[in-house]
Amino acid sequence: MMRTIKRLLLPTYLGFGLLYLFLPVLVVILFSFNDYQGRFNVRWQGFTLEHWLDPFRVEEIPQALGVSIVLAAVSSGIATIIGTLIALALTRYRFKGRSATNVLLFFPMATPEVVLGSSLLGLFVAMGTGAGFLTLLLAHILFIISYAVATIRARMVGFDRHLEEAAMDLYANEWDTFRKVTLPMILPGVFAAFLLGFALSLDDFVVSNFTAGTIQTYPLYVWGAARRGIPAQVNVWGTVIFVVTVTVMLLFLGAQRRRQQRLGLT
Amino acid sequence: MAAAPAIELEHVTKTFTDFTAVEDLTLAIDDGHFFALLGPSGCGKTTTLRMVGGFEEPTAGTIRLHGENVTGLKPYRRLVNTVFQSYALFPHLTVFENVAFGLRRREVSEGEVRKRVGEVLDLVQLTGRENRKPRQLSGGQQQRVAVARALVNHPRVLLLDEPLGALDLKLRKEMQIELKRIQQEVGITFVHVTHDQEEAMTMADTIAVMHQGRIERMGAPTEIYEDPRTAFVAGFLGASNLMGGTVDGDRGTIALSAGGVVYADPKHIPAGVREVLVGVRPEKVSLFLPGDETAPRNRLRGKVTDASFIGVSTHYLVHCPQVGEMAVVVQNLDDRRFSLGEDVVAAWNPDHTFGVAG
Ligand SMILES: Nc1ncnc2c1ncn2[C@@H]1O[C@H](COP(=O)(O)OP(=O)(O)OP(=O)(O)O)[C@@H](O)[C@H]1O
Ligand SMILES: [Mg+2]
């Protein structure tokens, strides 16, 4: 009796945990099929494919989504490049201000987003740049970099410096060494950092709200629409983003595992 | 004009922030030699090798390769290749691509790459393993890939940093023979770093014994074994029985501090010093019964305090009142064994006495 309980305890606990995590997502997906009347899509009123067949009905949604995707790709791309270089420098060289850099990098992660966003707005106003896509981009790059550095650096622990020396010994100059040896070795970390940054940027609301000016990202659109009633197309696109994200993650993990098997790491 | 040595170091010093790893090192290695750099852990062997390879800049001094001053030159501009202690094979590349790496950097044609990689894999007996990843190879195979990856570039000098350190004893012995064979086959200069004196002696034409950032003794294995010249070398390279004494005028006899004399060949006794340590290798000493007139000239009386039979030989410890414990290794040729507590004479030929500054 006790043993049965014990045996069931963990799966039950896990089941509730997962349910708790996924219930909101399931609700979002479910309500993309809701045949609701009026402005508010909050009570289940019957099944329809209407919203899925007409995802572009509310023009602002694909527009805002487009902005968000471009923003996420560009900001995460730039932050990943800068983050890679910082991570390389931090693990490679002992330079003046190295430990200071370590601490400073932690700041954007530790600072409450509200504080970060409002300070940035203050800065942009003081500089007279106004707010728009560029300020939005700068703000996103800023808060993604720290995460990018942290992710890539975790990957570089245990990186054998002799590998780079061996490449140089075999006539590879600095650039070839980076291209042929360093980068292929840290690529999974770089890619993971890019995905993380992309996700962080895509669903950022607080910092964007301060620094976007009149630009509307997807989260900003949803926030604005909430007062008027959120159209079910938001659920449709939310579902698409969810599915795409999960697929990419699974592909990434699969590729990782294959790579490890190929290298005989497992 | 005689050809310039393969490697020349001139007054090379390397100081890390607060620690001098290599101190005023001057040395020349001839082309085609198998040179071993031998010394205990932390004596500066790796640092020396890294300076030749270009991974570390000397704090002072000059490094020349085949007469060309390469001090300050990047590793990829030096015609030397290195086999790293950890092998440092590229884990993301196949055996073939690992070996081809240097050729590809020098834009050798594809056909030539295939030919040369094939040849060198043949040389290290790894044909058929081209498409494996390094982690799918055994330690010895990885080691051979590392050697192949360096050799394929036809370097004029190959630097090896304890390449056999990670292998078990049996494989080590095999690889020693194999490396030596490869070196003789390709005829290039090998600089082999090791802290294994037996390895150095089996493989090298010339051994340099390093100690605390300096070279204490350099020469052919037999030469430095028979005449180590410093107490450190005598102790590091094989075992020695050392006794304190005073040299008389012609350096042929040394009066032991505790009484008695030891005879020596004057050329093995350092000139210009009076206080010396004289030594003899355990295997050069034989045991005799007291009063046996066939014993060589250097004779010390003592008592057997320990005897261990090792198969090919028997190791004795003999307590001699004048010098303390003496180690004696006797080959098991006849069945005359000495037993514990027996009175014996430990004797050796004066030619086998060496002296080091005391
Ligand atoms: N980058 C460095 N910074 C400071 N000290 C160093 C550095 N590299 C080496 N040393 C010191 O220099 C000395 C010589 O090091 P080296 O690696 O040359 O020794 P080694 O003879 O190769 O020893 P081992 O047999 O253990 O490999 C050591 O005491 C080491 O601590
Ligand atoms: Mg070393």
**Is it the case that residue A2 has pLDDT exceeding 80?**
no
- Measure B87 CA to nearest chain A CA, in Å: 8
**b/e per residue B94-130 (b: at least 16 CB within 10 A):** bbbbbbbbbbbbeebeeeebeebbeebbebbebeebb
- Measure B298 CA to nearest chain A CA, in Å: 53
**Is it the case that residue B104 has pLDDT exceeding 90?**
yes
> What are A33-51's pLDDT values in tens digits?
988 888 888 888 888 888 8
**Residue A135 — φ and ψ, nearest 5°?**
-65, -35
**Structure tokens belonging to residue B283:** 């295997």
- Measure A145 CA to nearest chain B CA, in Å: 27
A94 touching B, CB under 8 A? no
Domain range summary for chain B, segments of one domain joined by +: 7-226, 239-357
Residues 246-265 of A with CB under 8 A from B: 262-265
A166 touching B, CB under 8 A? yes
pLDDT band at A125 (very low <50, low <70, confident <90, very high): confident
Higher-pLDDT residue of B3 and A168 is A168
- For residue A119, the model assigns a pLDDT of 92
A228 touching B, CB under 8 A? no
Average pLDDT across chain B, whole number: 91
Kindly determine whether residue B81 and residue A168, on different chains, have CB atoms separated by under 8 Å. Answer: no
Place of tokens 């992660």: A109
Max CA distance (Å), chain B: 78
Nearest to B76 among A168, A180, A264 (CB): A168
Is B194 close to ligand 1, i.e. is its CB under 6 Å away? no
For atom 11 of ligand 1, which residue has the closest CA? B21
> What are A190-203's pLDDT values in tens digits?
999 999 999 999 98
**Is it the case that residue A122 has pLDDT exceeding 60?**
yes
User: For residue B42, how far is its CA from the centre of ligand 2 (angstroms)?
Assistant: 7
Which of A8-22, A93-107, A111-125, B107-121 has the lowest average pLDDT?
A93-107
Q: Residue B118: CB partners within 8 Å, gap ≥ 6?
A: B127
CATH of domain B239-357: 2.40.50.100
% pLDDT > 70, chain B: 99
Nearest to A176 among B82, B91, B105 (CB): B105
Kindly determine whether residue A169 and residue B133, on different chains, have CB atoms separated by under 8 Å. Answer: no
Q: How far apart are CA B6 and CA B29, in angstroms?
A: 6
> What are B167-190's pLDDT values in tens digits?
888 888 888 998 899 899 888 999
**Structure tokens belonging to residue B225:** 């074994």
Which chain A residues are Cβ-neighbours of B51 within 8 angstroms? none
- Measure B27 CA to nearest chain A CA, in Å: 23
Which chain B residues are Cβ-neighbours of A168 within 8 angstroms? 54-55, 74-76
Mutate to test the pocket of ligand 1, among B12, B14, B38, B46 (most ligand atoms within 8 A of CB): B46
**Residue B10 — φ and ψ, nearest 5°?**
-125, 110
**Is it the case that residue B145 has pLDDT exceeding 80?**
yes
Q: Does domain B7-226 have CATH number 3.40.50.300?
A: yes
% pLDDT > 70, chain A: 98
User: For residue A183, how far is its CA from the centre of ligand 1 (angstroms)?
Assistant: 28
Residue type, B5: P
Higher-pLDDT residue of B167 and A52 is A52
- For residue A266, the model assigns a pLDDT of 45
**Residue B162 — φ and ψ, nearest 5°?**
40, 60
Q: Residue A252: CB partners within 8 Å, gap ≥ 6?
A: A191, A192, A195
In 10 A of CB B250, how many CB atoms? 8
Kindly determine whether residue A167 and residue B101, on different chains, have CB atoms separated by under 8 Å. Answer: yes
**Structure tokens belonging to residue B210:** 């390093």
B135 touching A, CB under 8 A? yes
> What are B28-55's pLDDT values in tens digits?
999 999 999 999 999 999 999 999 999 9
**Is it the case that residue A145 has pLDDT exceeding 80?**
yes
For atom 28 of ligand 1, which residue has the closest CA? B42
Q: pTM for the complete prediction? A: 0.79
Write down how long chain A is.
266
Which of A13-17, A130-134, A257-261, B6-10 has the lowest average pLDDT?
A257-261
Q: Nearest residue on chain A to B100, judged by CA atoms?
A: A170
Mutate to test the pocket of ligand 1, among B18, B47, B197, B209 (most ligand atoms within 8 A of CB): B47
Is B309 close to ligand 1, i.e. is its CB under 6 Å away? no
Kindly determine whether residue A166 and residue B90, on different chains, have CB atoms separated by under 8 Å. Answer: yes
Contact B260, B322 (CB under 8 A): yes
- Edge-first strand listing for the sheet containing B241-247: B261-263, B253-256, B241-247, B275-280, B354-357
Which chain A residues are Cβ-neighbours of B88 within 8 angstroms? 160, 162-163, 165-166
Which chain A residues are Cβ-neighbours of B92 within 8 angstroms? 184-185, 263
- Measure B49 CA to nearest chain A CA, in Å: 13
Query: Inter-axis angle of helices A2-31 and A232-262, to 10 degrees?
Result: 130
Interface test with B, best of A160, A165, A171, A185 (most B CBs within 10 A): A171
pLDDT band at B249 (very low <50, low <70, confident <90, very high): confident
What atom of ligand 1 comes closest to residue B49's alpha carbon?
18
Strands B313-320 and B298-309: antiparallel
ipTM: 0.81
Ordered DSSP codes for B113-136: HHHHHHHHHHHTT-TT-TT--GGG
* Overall fold of domain A64-230: MetI-like fold (1.10.3720)
A179 touching B, CB under 8 A? no
Kindly determine whether residue B86 and residue A160, on different chains, have CB atoms separated by under 8 Å. Answer: yes
Is B195 close to ligand 1, i.e. is its CB under 6 Å away? yes
B76 touching A, CB under 8 A? yes
- Edge-first strand listing for the sheet containing B60-65: B19-29, B7-16, B60-65, B68-69
Mutate to test the pocket of ligand 1, among B16, B59, B84 (most ligand atoms within 8 A of CB): B16
